């Protein structure tokens, strides 16, 4: 039987990879963003040599270093449309938006995708550098074209505000059929109404936003902060309480609620830069959801240029980088979120999982423990820590951590918490308590495949409630027939019951669904042996060994390759209702 742990959603970095590669084979730069390049030492390097080094750094996802090399190459006299494209992309992806705007290529032979992104960068730089005229004129030129029209619409009021155009600043952006522009355009209008001291109109917008079904809680911090600035502390607390009823463990909402209760130090009104950044984050988040990882990173870079304090953007940029396989960049993004941030625990959890996925369980646990120790009553940090404890076979400690989370949840804890604790209890041999948690979780979610699979298999493995248990595992397979792990459980259940013919059939299906899983291959080898297919059994055990199995499976497979499973044929005493 296998348990699939729900990993945090991890995500990307490598914007416009095509812009960073050519047919030329440049030497590897061998540098990461955390390293400094000593440009002023060593023998002179030609402008073209610097260009090749920059290109190699781009191919290594080293945008910061690449940008430095390209800047030196430009100083050395290197120019041309293609060079400017690469220098622009490197500057953009390193977060140097002002330089990217200065480099933005607009030659006729520059590809349209680069021209449009460069125009957007000029708008962002205009807002960031206080050059409203540049931002407004670039938007008016129509150069910020698809796929950046939504971003242009959201940035337009803030560009007008920086340019001193009061009427233009207070208009609400519209883009036919784009709900995101409609909602975040209203948020921007509320922010700019407040800056214009048109408080009634600002509140009308804020109230409409928090009233949106399903997502209104997202804007509770905006409306609550507005009320705090107006001295309406009780009203602000009520807004936070309503949002906390939907998201009781949201660290940002909890911090805001505590601040409102103290009746002091409300956050200042957002600046035009911060308002523009919020729109860019919304667009980047949508790209992240659509798996447009490279462009999402570019948008997050521009958002962080406008608002360097946006840990929301920093965490999601780490997600985008992780999904794009730039693990070094993702770790840097997560690690940049400091302990004082309401998103510290979340960022630290994601950072820990990057090490777990790299099979560095020791570092993963160290980081998860740091996040947990920084906020021991933060359920998000506690759940991450318990997940990693279980993943690294520290199940007894995981139970202790989950006891705290479940205790804080009150009389009706989330079924997933009970499931996680039940698994950890079962693994440390505390079966009566594990069975209690698993049954309570199943009572809450009677059709959940993972629960049906885990509890049903556990009963079969123990020789208890066999007819009911086998039916549960079959229901799990019917609900999730494409899961190799669940089909493996049914096959292994048949094996434990002595029904080797059906075991082989199900385990062969499981291997087809997940051919690289060492445990499923190991199980299939056992089933083959029992039906007399000895050569195939040995092949499957060797296959399991070649898939980097855990030590337990490795030891089992090696022992079976030496001596088999005893006489070919049925086990002497398969699990039955009697035993």
| DSSP per residue, 216-244 | GGGGHHHHHHHHHHTT-HHHHHHHHHHHH
**Positive or negative: CA dihedral 237, 242, 245, 250:** negative
Distance from C-alpha of 224 to C-alpha of 316, rounded to nearest angstrom: 24
Domain layout of the chain by residue ranges: 179-270, 446-579
Distance from C-alpha of 401 to C-alpha of 241, rounded to nearest angstrom: 27
Distance from C-alpha of 341 to C-alpha of 314, rounded to nearest angstrom: 11
* CATH class label, 446-579: mainly alpha
Query: End-to-end CA distance of the chain, in Å?
Result: 20
Res 35: pLDDT: 36
What letter does residue 569 receive in the DSSP assignment? S
- In sequence order, what are the residues at sequence separation of 6 or more whose Cβ sits closer than 8 angstroms to the Cβ of residue 544? 518, 519, 521, 522, 525, 553, 557
SS3 content of the chain, % helix, strand, coil (to 5): 70, 0, 30
Count CB atoms within 10 A of the CB of residue 98.
15
- CA-to-CA separations, 483 to 2, 106, 490, 520, in angstroms, rounded: 11, 50, 11, 12
Tokens, residue 47: 């402008």
Res 84: pLDDT: 77
Nearest CA among 350, 313, 310, 349 for reference residue 330: 350
Q: DSSP of 492-517, one letter per residue? A: HHHHHTT-HHHHHHHHHHHHHH-TT-
The answer to whether residues 510 and 482 touch, using CB atoms and an 8 Å cutoff, is no
Q: Which residue has the tokens 């296959």?
A: 543
Res 90: pLDDT: 86
Count CB atoms within 10 A of the CB of residue 454.
27
Distance from C-alpha of 364 to C-alpha of 358, rounded to nearest angstrom: 9
Side-chain half-sphere CA neighbours of 523 within 13 A: 32
Res 194: pLDDT: 97
Nearest CA among 465, 522, 463 for reference residue 488: 522
Res 44: pLDDT: 56
Distance from C-alpha of 395 to C-alpha of 3, rounded to nearest angstrom: 14
The answer to whether residues 377 and 344 touch, using CB atoms and an 8 Å cutoff, is no
Tokens, residue 552: 């337990």
Main-chain dihedrals φ then ψ at residue 358, nearest 5 degrees: -90, 10
The answer to whether residues 478 and 453 touch, using CB atoms and an 8 Å cutoff, is no
pLDDT in tens, the chain (579 residues): 444 333 233 222 222 222 333 333 322 222 233 333 444 445 556 665 666 666 676 666 667 776 776 777 666 666 666 677 888 888 899 899 998 998 887 766 678 888 999 999 999 999 999 999 999 999 999 999 999 999 999 999 999 999 999 999 999 998 989 999 999 999 999 999 999 999 999 999 999 999 998 889 999 999 999 999 999 999 999 999 999 998 887 888 999 999 999 998 999 999 999 999 999 999 999 999 999 999 999 999 999 999 999 999 999 999 999 999 999 999 999 999 998 898 898 899 999 999 999 989 999 999 999 888 888 888 888 999 999 999 999 999 999 999 999 999 888 899 999 999 999 999 999 999 999 999 999 999 999 999 999 999 899 888 888 889 889 999 999 999 999 989 999 999 999 889 999 999 999 999 999 999 999 999 999 999 999 999 999 999 999 999 989 888 999 999 999 999 876 555 444 444 333
Distance from C-alpha of 308 to C-alpha of 433, rounded to nearest angstrom: 48
Q: DSSP of 467-498, one letter per residue? A: HHHHHHHHHHHHH-TT-HHHHHHHHHHHHHTT
Q: Which residue has the tokens 């206080």?
A: 130
Res 466: pLDDT: 84
Give me the CATH topology for the region 179-270: 1.25.40
Distance from C-alpha of 386 to C-alpha of 401, rounded to nearest angstrom: 6
The answer to whether residues 128 and 257 touch, using CB atoms and an 8 Å cutoff, is no
The answer to whether residues 476 and 456 touch, using CB atoms and an 8 Å cutoff, is yes
Count of positions (residues) in the chain: 579
Burial of 331 by CB count in 10 Å (0-12 exposed, 13-18 middle, 19+ buried)? buried
Distance from C-alpha of 11 to C-alpha of 257, rounded to nearest angstrom: 30
């Amino acid at each position: 039987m296998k348990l699939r742990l729900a990993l945090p959603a991890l995500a990307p970095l490598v914007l416009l990879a095509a812009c960073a590669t050519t047919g030329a084979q440049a030497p590897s730069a061998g540098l990461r963003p955390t390293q400094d390049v000593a440009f002023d030492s060593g023998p002179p390097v030609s402008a073209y040599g610097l260009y090749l080094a920059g290109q190699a750094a781009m191919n290594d996802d080293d945008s910061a270093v690449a940008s430095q090399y390209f800047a030196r190459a430009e100083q050395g006299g290197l120019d041309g449309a293609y060079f400017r494209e690469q220098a622009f992309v490197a500057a953009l992806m390193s977060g140097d938006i002002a330089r990217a705007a200065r480099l933005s290529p607009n030659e006729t032979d520059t590809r349209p995708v680069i021209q449009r992104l460069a125009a957007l960068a000029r708008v962002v730089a205009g807002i960031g550098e206080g050059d409203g005229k540049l931002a407004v004129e670039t938007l008016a030129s129509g150069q910020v074209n698809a796929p950046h029209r939504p971003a242009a619409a959201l940035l337009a009021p803030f560009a007008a505000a920086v340019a001193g155009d009061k009427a233009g600043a207070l208009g609400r952006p519209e883009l036919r059929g784009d709900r995101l522009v409609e909602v975040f355009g209203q948020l921007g209008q509320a922010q700019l109404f407040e800056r214009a001291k048109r408080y009634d109109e600002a509140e009308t917008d804020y109230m409409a936003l928090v009233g949106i079904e399903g997502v209104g809680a997202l804007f509770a911090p905006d409306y609550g902060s507005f009320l705090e600035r107006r001295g309406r502390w009780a009203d602000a607390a009520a807004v936070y309480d309503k949002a906390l009823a939907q998201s009781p463990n949201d660290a940002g909402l909890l911090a805001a609620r505590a601040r409102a209760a103290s009746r002091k130090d409300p956050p200042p009104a957002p600046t035009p830069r911060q308002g523009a950044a919020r729109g860019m984050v919304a667009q980047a988040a949508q790209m992240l959801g659509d798996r447009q990882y490279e462009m999402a990173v570019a948008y997050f870079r521009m958002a962080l240029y406008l608002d360097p304090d946006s840990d929301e953007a920093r965490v999601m940029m780490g997600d985008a980088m992780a999904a794009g396989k730039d693990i070094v960049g993702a770790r840097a993004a997560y690690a940049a979120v400091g302990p004082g941030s309401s998103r510290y625990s979340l960022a630290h959890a994601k950072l820990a999982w990057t090490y777990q996925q790299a099979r560095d369980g020791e570092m993963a646990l160290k980081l998860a423990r740091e996040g947990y120790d920084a906020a021991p009553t933060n359920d998000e940090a506690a759940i991450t820590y318990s997940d990693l404890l279980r993943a690294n076979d520290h199940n007894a400690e995981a139970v202790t951590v989950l006891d705290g989370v479940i205790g804080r949840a009150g009389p009706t804890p989330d079924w997933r918490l009970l499931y996680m604790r039940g698994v950890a209890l079962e693994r440390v041999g505390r079966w009566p308590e594990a069975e209690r948690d698993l049954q309570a979780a199943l009572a809450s979610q009677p059709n959940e495949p993972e629960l049906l699979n885990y509890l049903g298999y556990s009963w079969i493995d123990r020789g208890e409630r066999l007819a009911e248990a086998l039916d549960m595992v079959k229901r799990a397979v019917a609900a999730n027939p494409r899961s190799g792990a669940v089909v493996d459980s049914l096959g292994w259940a048949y094996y434990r019951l002595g029904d080797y013919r059906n075991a082989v059939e199900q385990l062969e299906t499981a291997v087809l669904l997940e051919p690289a899983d060492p445990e499923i291959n190991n199980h299939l080898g056992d089933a083959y042996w029992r039906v007399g297919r000895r050569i195939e059994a040995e092949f499957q055990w060797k296959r399991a060994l070649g898939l980097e199995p855990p030590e337990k499976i490795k030891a089992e497979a090696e022992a079976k390759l030496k001596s088999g499973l005893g006489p070919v044929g049925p086990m002497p005493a398969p699990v039955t209702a009697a035993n």
